[in-house]
Structure 1
Amino acid sequence: MIDDHALAYWFRTEVLPLEGALTRFLRRNWRASQDVGDLRQDVYELTISGARRELPHNARAYLFTVARNHLINRSKRARMVAFDLMAEPEVVIADVDFHAAERHLTARDSLRRIQDGMNRLSPRIREIVELRKMDGLSARETASRLGIGLDAVNKQTGMGVRALANFVQGGRGLVVRQRRRIPERMSVSAGANR
């Protein structure tokens, strides 16, 4: 256990100077900006209680890991799943994990890669993928909102997700449109008419 004086000194000198960066992080990753002050205080409380056992070597990584995990837990409780917050839900743990900083950085890199892949999609396919996969709308709701057919929504969702997966795995992330196969007998008879 860390004594209260050492803990207070660590918090004053290592954590409090990060308040501006923490506030920006919370604003960027939480939809309700009026909650930012309360969230910051929650993060400070969790940071202090976790550091009572052992002072972290990297206060910045520790603070932002605590903040990220707290946002994930809050969003799960509120059932407001924000895309940025759900990059790696398996990282969430009850006790603070001092090795989570590396996973956090990996998740942020993956999230940036996904966002880059989304930006490469055509505007229509990107909109459909966002409505289906991020906003959680059904195919029918998406079709209704965009005024297109259900088959078009399903087909374009599949094309977008495949292109995104390809990009995340290191490919070019191009949308591959399936060509209709002409039945054999039709292509033969079409050639005979020429």
Structure 2
Amino acid sequence: MQTELDRWFVHEILVHEEALMRFLQRHWPHREELHDLRQELYARLYEAAAKALPTQPKAFLFASARHLMTDRLRRGKVVSIEPMGDFEPSHVLVDEVSPERWCGGRQALRRLSEAFDRLPDRCREVVWLRRVEELSQKDVALRLGISEKTVEKHIAKGMRLLADGLFAGEARARAESDAADAGARRRAD
């Protein structure tokens, strides 16, 4: 038995299937995914229409198709930042670490600490729980009362900000070192 929503879907959405497929073919580069894309779009539309019927179904259909393609492209660009496992130990004895290397390591640790302290509060908390305490994404979400997607976003933002802080600090340290070397050469001449 068809419900009112089913009848609406057939008369207002499915009648545009041919135009929708042409639209998807023109705009989506992966032909083998077109049918999956269409089905996901239909599922989204049906769920949204169950809450409230759109006043302009055709415009809603094509706008939703654009949003779905954008979401898929965005998801395709996300890179997993899961740890890959332990690397083989380098077998470096503490006695073999030069003072320069030790000092450089301390400076890098200080830059990391400063970058970590500059993270927004919630982002810092998520990064700490996920990367330091090694809780799963689901456990972090449950502990903080946020969605797993939000945990993902905080981790990505935190890693990006930490990397920016570290690399900016290294670039600044290199520039200072180069300036000091140039000054020493001028004094020697």
TM-score range, shorter chain: 0.3 to 0.5
Structure number with higher helix proportion: 2
Q: Which has the larger radius of gyration?
A: 2
TM-score normalised by L of structure 2: 0.40
